[in-house]
Structure 1
Amino acid sequence: MSPLLAEKQKHLTSKDSKGSLLQKMYALLGLILLSGVLSVMSPHFPSFQNILSISLQTAIIAILALGQTYVIISAGIDLSVGSVLALSGVISSQLLVEGVPVLPALIIGIVSGGILGLINGLAITKGNLPPFIVTLGMMGVARGIALVLTNGLPVSGLPDAFTRLGNDRLFYIPIPVLFLIVVAVVGHFVLRRTVFGRYVYAIGSNEEAARLSGIPTALHKTMIYTLCGMFAGLAGVLLSARLISAQPTAGTGYELDAIAAVVIGGASLMGGVGSIGGTVIGAFIMGVLRNGLNLLSVSPFWQQIAIGLVIVLAVYLDQLRRKKD
């Protein structure tokens, strides 16, 4: 890499770091204000048990959204993560029912998600197809395979050692939340402290300029979608453990929740901007909003309207920020 390119990437990373920090502060402030309002409106909201419930409910979507963060920063999109989640859960659960030990079954579930992500990446980079079309097709394919493997029926009879991953607690913290903390820390490190992470931002900021600068954009975009698939695989395994069964219809609509969490957390759908911390905050904003509206006995139909308005507002604020830049 030339010294000029290295200096330019350093400048872009520094600028993005300041922008991402500001976006995270806005998102965190919004989360605090939302929690404060709901605490006043519902005395049950700030209880310890309810906070744990919110964390557990949010963990799966947040893990799914972490993979989506890499994709959106690179100016892509992955609409298949909900279906990949379902298929990964089905594969690992069927292996468990057949007597495969927990750890290998869990790893195979995650790897299967990564393979589907790899197929997405190769179709996008080698086939020069739009990410929207490729991942939309994969959404149908993965969901169909999950239904074929199970004949549309849940996979039950999972061993206790596996289901405890989704339902037990360690030091009062649900195990899925611990998984979220670990993958978020690792994901943040990779995105902010590695060459691969810098390339993700460079590709999202200007893919053609990144390619001309010597960055192997096709390879790294394929790696990004593979990584997103692995996150979806992990989310699918944990969801199956939590539900004590693998549902072939699980994860329907989760891709939209994951994208919403990333955008609410400050990422730009135009690429080049976003952070792991912001995504986690965005996921918890959605989780807190849903939980609070449930406690207030608000109809699920109105909840969809409220969440939709929050997403539109987040995108609008991103557009204003980009105009100022």
Structure 2
Amino acid sequence: MIVDPARVLDAVELPFLPNHYRGKVRDNYDLPDGRRLIVASDRLSAFDRILCAVPYKGQILTQTARWWFEETADLCRNHVIDYPDPNVLLCRRLTILPVEIVVRGYLAGTTGTSILTLYKAGERRMYGTVLPDGMRDNERLPQPIITPTSKEFDGGHDRPLTPDEILADGLLTAAQWDEISATALALFARGQEIAARRGLILADTKYEFGVDADGNILLADEVHTPDSSRFWKADSYTARVAAGERPDSFDKDVVRSWVAARCDPYRDAIPPIPDDMILATSAVYVEAFETITGERFVPDLAGETVLARITDRLRVFASAP
């Protein structure tokens, strides 16, 4: 697989749009009329830092989330208005709730807040849940659990929370917690059901919710993408777990695991990630999109570069009221 560097969107610079905020992998522009433009770059983030840029990742994630937003619209409202470009979402501007909701169906993960990391450190009581002794890596949990973390908006490390702490700290009201926890479990069940039909296991995922001007809670950010979720291939799962091997995945754990094996990713400099691994990761994203949606991935090759294409299509918003 050979990719023209012009088709990689690492940095997003759109000075004609107002109120720019750069996130880890997305660039946000708040329009004066209450709408927001979110441009998905190809940056790959893990361990609270940027690791590399993966060709076509931004388009794939935006289009995968679009597919899932449509598949779950009957379960909850979301922030989507339109898609002016394959990498760009036009959405309602929300006040993001300060709790990130992670639903987990398996004992998995590599980050400091993952239940597998905590479990291997000897913890059994976590996130308000008690897990049984004797579980193996990547084993299915007795039932899906919610593992909420704080949503650190200024680059700080997210911290594990229990429902009692969420309410005691005033992060959410009891009514908000009841609504988003029930919605998250319903979304996860839908995601697992659809994934199973595609020969996949949805092991865990994160959700973000926000409140609109009228106080309604809406699903925001992305949903069931390879960046926000851990997908495994079902046909090889049992044999690989029995052998103590990592399940075949459709997520960025490929890069995360490579980095974590070579340094402390929270403290050390990240070693250069080989080009062949980056290209292989891009191929995994393409395969994930096509497997999840049943559609063929077609990269948008308009414009001399991805940024030039997006610039041309978003100029109409420069004069938005």
The reply to whether TM is greater than 0.5 is no
Q: Could you say which structure has the greater relative contact order, defined with CA pairs below 8 angstroms and 6 or more residues apart? A: 1
**Higher share in helix:** 1
TM-score range, shorter chain: under 0.3
Q: Greater share of strand residues, 1 or 2?
A: 2
